[in-house]
Chains A and B, each alone.
Chain A
């Protein structure tokens, strides 16, 4: 993911960039490596999950962008599982 990360609270979140907007909300950008799954449904589910988590945490989001940057090979998927 290179330098595309957010550091805070003792954590480094690779593939996540969070930018505060002048309106008071946050813009979240995610770069994901996906399995061989339908990308539109995956992107929308991720977007909805981020919004839900932000709402639970009481954070205002202005936009959530999802960018699929790679495909996981079956070996990588098996290794992760």
Chain B
């Protein structure tokens, strides 16, 4: 591009890129086909279909590369020699919920949210619960995060709890 801009000011003559790589000669060979592509007709339609097909294949390849079909795992231990110890995040979520539901002052625990780092060696475990009106919110939050320690510590998950006052009629622990 810069050479063509320069050519507009100072004529490059035979040093112009298209002349250096003999594009004019190549055009003599492929010009007929290019003219068919440019003109409406069967060849142009076929080229359009091929182009759209190539774009679709490209999009599928990129999507397949970015979205791995392998199940997402929380890695406990990964060693080439010994093997991998891992668990599905859903399993950890269910276990964390069971542990959290035993917390005193908690009436309900929603399904915990788990997010992991790129290498899945650490992450965050977010608990959302409801507490009784008389319980101390800070204390319940602390008890909730402590209750999931058997899950959060070995899997290097940072626990975080959000609690709100339960609706009237909720079951107390």
Query: Is chain B found bound to chain A in the same assembly?
Result: yes
Mark A residues whose CB is within 8 Å of B. 27-29, 34, 36, 38-40, 43-44, 47, 62-71
Judge whether B76 is part of the interface by a CB distance below 8 angstroms.
yes
Q: Is the CB of A40 within 8 A of B85?
A: yes
CB distance from B13 to the nearest CB of A (A): 61
Q: Does B86 lie at the interface of the complex (its beta carbon under 8 Å from any beta carbon of A)? A: yes
Decide: A68 near B81, CB < 8 A? Known: A39-B154, A40-B76, A43-B76. Answer: no
Which of B79, B84, B85 is packed against the most chain A CB atoms within 10 Å?
Answer: B85
| B17 proximal to A (CB < 8 A) | no
Partner of A68, one of B80, B83, B88, B150: B88
B87 an interface residue at 8 Å Cβ cutoff? yes
Total cross-chain contacts (CB, 8 A): 63
- In the assembled complex, B44 has its CB within 8 A of some CB on chain A: no
CB distance from A28 to the nearest CB of B (A): 8
Residues of B within 8 A of A36 (CB): 95, 98
Interface residues in B64-87 (C-beta closer than 8 Å to A): 71, 73, 76-77, 79-87
Least CB distance from A58 to B in Å reads 20
Chain A to chain B contacts (Cβ below 8 Å), 8 pairs = A38-B150, A39-B91, A63-B82, A63-B83, A64-B82, A65-B85, A66-B85, A70-B90
Complex interface: chain B residues within 8 A of A27 (CB): 83
Asked whether A71 lies within 8 Å of B85 as measured between CB atoms, the reply is: no
Q: Which residues of B contact A66 (CB under 8 A)?
A: 83-86
Whether B7 sits at the interface, judged by CB under 8 Å, is no
For A64, list chain B residues within 8 Å (CB).
Answer: 82-83
Question: Does A71 lie within 8 Å of B91, measured CB to CB?
Answer: yes
Could you tell me if B73 and A67 are in contact, using CB atoms closer than 8 angstroms? yes
How distant is the Cα of A67 from the Cα of B75 in the complex, in angstroms? Answer: 9
Contact of A67 among B82, B87, B94, B154 (CB under 8 A): B87
Chain B 88-107, CB-CB to A under 8 Å as 1, else 0, gives 10111011001000000000
What residues of chain B lie closer than 8 Å to A65, measured between beta carbons? 83-86
Output the nearest chain A residue to B88 by Cβ-Cβ distance: A69
B81:A39 contact, CB within 8 angstroms: no
